């Protein structure tokens, strides 16, 4: 196996910072708050750094097997892989495509690089005969946009639309509808706060108040137009399409182009891309890396059980705990793709949340970020990891993905949260809310 003796980076400072960061993560693998009385857990962890790795890093991280992309370890991993997971890295909200008001998201370089790597790994897998490997793209949006997501039914009421129609309506038309509908947002908020029949909608109003606080608008003193403008401004920056959808689309395009460059016929290309489409799942509900995993794990378990012959309808009724119990004795190989700055946190979370019968293979994407951007990204990730390592073991006190997922939903969306559809139905069925 060919080893890279020196990382391919522009500055040694960046690599030193990264190796120190990864070493700290390595020291904290295999923790288990559910069973603190036991010895630390163990599992197979393989890491494929795109930029290479030093001998010192290998020595400092003995719990991790380092290798390169052409190694027997990687070949064996893709041939045995049950699933390849693309861990999303944020999004950039841009002006919507003409004729497609719901397509206002641009993937960042990290997600594009991840997606390209996932497509390459899939092709490697099928070349080895692993033709039914599952692919999962994760990510809906950044957690900073949760307030707008929760307040969406109120925007729908202000515009006189069904909530599901809002994201498919051009921004300019939304603004005209809000102006013409003449809803008094302050009156609506007061009605929700005081009318027991509207108690279920209070989560939406709380979200709306968070939006106004962000925009330094006092809903008790501001006029109707100011309240509407702040809500519309927040909506302008709301991602209306899932990053998971965009990554899946990009992956299918990448794979088709690569096969075409290799001289494959259109029939061959369509067959491969069609099957890849069939075996690809989107995880469209997560808002951070924790929920990337807690939402993906049940999908991966379900897919494995169905492949083993379990009835799909019965699997659909099972809890995550039931699925984990049924598969506890089945070794599974999970290939996880992330970018260099994100990878240490991804590694810790995957080890923490994924069942112990999962062999973990981490493949770093070919993200050619400049050194300044990379340094800033790593610093953000270090801060996030510090918060996560406190939040999960100490505050949640469990690594059970079902319990963590439930607790995360409550933390992000509120313990009394209900779906946007339920809120919207309540709004539609409530009279005398508008002037």
The whole-number average pLDDT for the span 311-337 is: 96
The answer to which of 60-64, 222-226, 337-341, 405-409 has the lowest mean pLDDT is: 405-409
Give the pLDDT of residue 244.
94
Percent of the chain with pLDDT over 70: 92
- Average pLDDT in the chain: 89
The confidence band for 414, taking pLDDT boundaries of 50, 70 and 90, is low
* pLDDT tens column, 354-378: 999 999 999 999 988 888 888 899 9
The whole-number average pLDDT for the span 323-341 is: 96
Give the pLDDT of residue 51.
82
pTM above 0.85, yes or no: yes
The whole-number average pLDDT for the span 412-429 is: 51
Q: Is the pLDDT score of 429 beyond 60?
A: no
Give the pLDDT of residue 8.
47
Q: Is the pLDDT score of 147 beyond 70?
A: yes
Percent of the chain with pLDDT over 90: 64
Give the pLDDT of residue 434.
36
Give the pLDDT of residue 428.
47
Q: Is the pLDDT score of 6 beyond 50?
A: no
Domain ranges in the chain are 12-31+38-141+241-399, 144-238+417-429
Give the pLDDT of residue 1.
37
Contact criterion met (CB below 8 Å) for 155 and 164: no
Q: Is the pLDDT score of 50 beyond 70?
A: yes
Give the pLDDT of residue 395.
82
């Amino acid at each position: 196996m060919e080893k890279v003796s020196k990382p391919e980076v522009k500055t040694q400072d960046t690599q030193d910072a990264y190796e120190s960061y990864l070493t700290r993560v390595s020291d904290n693998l295999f923790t288990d708050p559910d069973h603190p009385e036991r010895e630390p857990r163990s599992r197979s962890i393989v890491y494929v750094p795109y930029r290479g790795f030093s001998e010192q890093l290998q020595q400092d991280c003995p719990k991790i097997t380092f290798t390169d992309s052409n190694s027997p370890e990687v070949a064996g991993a893709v041939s045995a892989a049950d699933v390849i997971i693309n861990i999303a890295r944020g999004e950039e909200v841009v002006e919507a495509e003409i004729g497609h008001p719901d397509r206002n998201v641009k993937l960042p370089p990290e997600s594009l690089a991840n997606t390209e790597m996932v497509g390459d790994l899939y092709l490697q897998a099928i070349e080895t005969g692993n033709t039914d490997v599952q692919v999962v793209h994760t990510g809906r949006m950044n957690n900073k946009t949760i307030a707008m997501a929760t307040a969406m039914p109120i925007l729908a009421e202000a515009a006189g639309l069904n909530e599901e129609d809002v994201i498919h309506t051009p921004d300019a038309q939304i603004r005209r509808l809000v102006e013409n509908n003449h809803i008094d947002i302050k009156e609506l908020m007061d009605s929700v706060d005081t009318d027991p029949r509207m108690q279920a909608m209070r989560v939406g109003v709380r979200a709306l108040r968070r939006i106004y606080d962000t925009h330094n608008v006092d809903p008790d003193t501001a006029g109707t137009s100011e309240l509407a403008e702040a809500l519309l401004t927040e909506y302008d920056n709301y991602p209306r399409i899932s990053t998971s959808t965009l990554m899946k689309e990009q992956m299918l395009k990448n794979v088709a182009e690569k096969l075409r460059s290799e001289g494959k016929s259109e029939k061959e290309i369509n067959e491969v891309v069609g099957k890849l489409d069939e075996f690809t799942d989107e995880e469209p509900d997560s808002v951070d890396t924790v929920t990337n995993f807690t939402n993906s794990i049940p999908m991966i378990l379900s897919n494995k059980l169905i492949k083993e012959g379990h009835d799909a309808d019965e699997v659909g009724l099972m809890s995550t705990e039931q699925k984990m119990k049924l598969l506890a004795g089945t070794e599974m190989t999970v290939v996880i793709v992330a970018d260099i700055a994100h990878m240490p946190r991804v590694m810790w979370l995957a080890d923490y949340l994924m069942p112990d019968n999962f062999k973990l293979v981490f493949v770093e994407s070919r993200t050619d970020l400049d050194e300044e951007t990379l340094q800033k990204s790593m610093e953000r990730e270090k801060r996030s990891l510090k918060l996560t390592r406190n939040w999960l073991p100490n505050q949640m006190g469990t690594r059970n993905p079902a319990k963590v997922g439930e607790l995360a939903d409550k933390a992000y969306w509120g313990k009394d949260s209900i779906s946007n559809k339920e809120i919207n139905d309540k709004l539609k069925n409530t009279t005398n809310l508008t002037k």
